[in-house]
Amino acid sequence: MRIEQMTDRALHRLDTVYVELRARLVRMAVADDGMSTAEYAIGTIAAAAFGAVLYGVVTGDSIVNALTKIIDRALNTAV
């Protein structure tokens, strides 16, 4: 159906639906109820996971050996 063929009532209804939809989208974009709690929870989980991975990497044999060699070389250099 072409816009020219729509009745005034149909155009009014379409305009009303558009206004209502736009208002809902604005409320959804602005409302942040409960967002801070969820963000803190996700941030805490991510930090804990990163800490666990970092601990696993640092306590692994290859990293400990590499760090030990670097420290030994630094302490045993002739001045």
- Report the phi/psi class of residue 34: left, alpha or beta, with left for phi > 0 and alpha for psi in -120 to 50: left
The larger pLDDT score, comparing residue 36 to residue 20, is at 20
Kindly give, in sequence order, each residue whose CB lies less than 8 Å from that of residue 9, ignoring residues fewer than 6 positions away: none
With contact defined as beta carbons under 8 Å apart, do 65 and 59 qualify?
A: no
Sign of CA dihedral 47, 53, 57, 60: positive
User: pLDDT digit string (tens) for 46-58?
Assistant: 999 999 998 888 7
Q: Rounded to two decimals, what is the model's pTM? A: 0.40
